[in-house]
């Protein structure tokens, strides 16, 4: 077996922080602070949410960002569906953002991080959480106050609309698997009364749960069953067109060969911004690339960091 590639930039050891929000729920975050960040020159924050996985699944370009771009990367977990439904998941996101603005966080990071320069990001389902947090869409309907103090949104191949046929149509099997995932394999994870969790091992049994969801077309049910909430409440494009929500500068990137989240989900968001005259959005569509293309060691995502630097 060949040796892994040598990192092109040093990766700081993360500070692992456990914080509790208003519901008394404990959430974990990893904080990667640039070595050269000091109190007199604190680093901006890029807060990243994973997509139904774990905070440990940070892409190489983000691990290198503290050294290469002088950014503090914060990777945070959140409780997963269906044991936790969407309203409470948004509460987790809001609490993470509030914690970054707290005196406690400042003390734990030695004042070397600047939460007044905060960008929210995420990949896949996490990209959706970033869009929701940055705009405030869905928050008040969920009984949660929208987050404040966000400088920009960075959505990486995001989900954006529960009503898209991709999430409601059975695919048995999906186009990217050569077999059907049986109910018995996922039964424990489908039970809303199973133990709550805020992360999923990349190679564990739950790692197939997302694919089962796509196969059965049940994303809406997993997130909203029993809540009484209309799925359109969380649809980014439809709500942007109402002009009722904040639209901080936004960056969206996707591959047009994505088999896990169709890139039309990103196109819908961009079209909605443009339809109401909002030009402060950058869209990058990478030809022929599939989901999680940025896991490639050679993918530097230069346009993403250029977007941040422009706003700073």
pLDDT at residue 53, rounded to an integer: 87
Distances, alpha carbon 216 to alpha carbons 111, 177, 180, 230, in Å: 47, 13, 10, 20
pLDDT at residue 4, rounded to an integer: 57
β-sheet with 43-49: strand ranges across? 15-20, 26-32, 72-76, 43-49, 113-123, 152-156, 250-255, 281-286
CATH number for the domain whose boundaries are 15-162+230-311: 3.40.50.1820
pLDDT at residue 257, rounded to an integer: 98
pLDDT in tens, 56-93: 999 999 999 999 999 999 999 999 999 999 999 999 99
pTM for this structure? Answer: 0.96
- Report the relative pairing of strands 281-286 and 250-255 from DSSP bridges: parallel
Rounded Cα gap, residues 97 and 47, in angstroms: 8
pLDDT at residue 10, rounded to an integer: 93
Question: In 10 A of CB 38, how many CB atoms?
Answer: 12
pLDDT at residue 80, rounded to an integer: 94
Rounded Cα gap, residues 14 and 33, in angstroms: 7
Of 157, 174, 175, 161, the C-alpha closest to 219 is 161
pLDDT at residue 201, rounded to an integer: 84
pLDDT at residue 6, rounded to an integer: 57
Domain coordinates in residue numbering, the chain = 15-162+230-311, 166-216
Q: What residues pair up with 284 in beta bridges, in sequence order?
A: 253
Low-confidence residues of the chain: pLDDT under 70: 1-7, 22-23
Rounded Cα gap, residues 226 and 120, in angstroms: 29
What stretches of the chain show up as alpha helix (H) in DSSP?
A: 60-69, 86-100, 103-108, 125-135, 165-168, 183-190, 209-216, 219-224, 236-240, 264-275, 302-311
């Amino acid at each position: 077996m060949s040796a892994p590639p040598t990192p092109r930039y040093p990766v700081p050891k993360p500070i692992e922080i456990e914080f509790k929000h208003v519901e008394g729920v404990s959430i974990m975050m990893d904080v990667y602070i640039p070595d050269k960040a000091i109190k007199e020159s604190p680093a901006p924050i890029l807060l990243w949410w994973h997509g139904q996985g774990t905070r440990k699944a940070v892409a190489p370009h983000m691990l290198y960002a503290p050294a290469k771009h002088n950014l503090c990367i914060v990777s945070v977990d959140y409780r997963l569906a269906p044991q936790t439904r969407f309203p409470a998941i948004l509460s987790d996101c809001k609490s993470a953002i509030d914690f970054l603005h707290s005196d406690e966080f400042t003390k734990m990071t030695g004042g070397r991080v600047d939460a007044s320069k905060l960008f929210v990001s995420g990949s896949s389902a996490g990209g959706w959480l970033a869009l929701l947090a940055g705009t405030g869409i869905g928050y008040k309907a969920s009984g949660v106050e929208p987050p404040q103090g966000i400088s920009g949104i960075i959505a990486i191949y995001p989900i954006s609309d529960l009503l898209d046929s991709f999430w409601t149509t059975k695919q048995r099997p999906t186009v990217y698997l050569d077999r059907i995932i049986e109910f018995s394999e996922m039964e424990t994870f489908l039970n809303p009364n199973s133990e709550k969790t805020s992360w999923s091992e990349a190679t564990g049994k739950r790692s197939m749960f997302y694919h089962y969801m796509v196969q059965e077309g049940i994303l809406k049910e997993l997130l909203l069953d029993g809540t009484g909430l209309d799925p359109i409440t969380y649809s980014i494009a439809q709500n942007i067109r109402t002009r009722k929500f904040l639209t901080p500068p936004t960056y969206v990137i996707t591959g047009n060969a994505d088999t896990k989240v169709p890139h039309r989900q990103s196109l819908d968001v961009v079209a909605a911004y443009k339809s109401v005259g909002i030009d402060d959005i950058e869209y990058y569509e990478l030809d022929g690339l599939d989901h999680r293309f940025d896991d490639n060691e050679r993918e530097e995502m230069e346009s993403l960091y250029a977007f941040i630097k422009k706003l700073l």
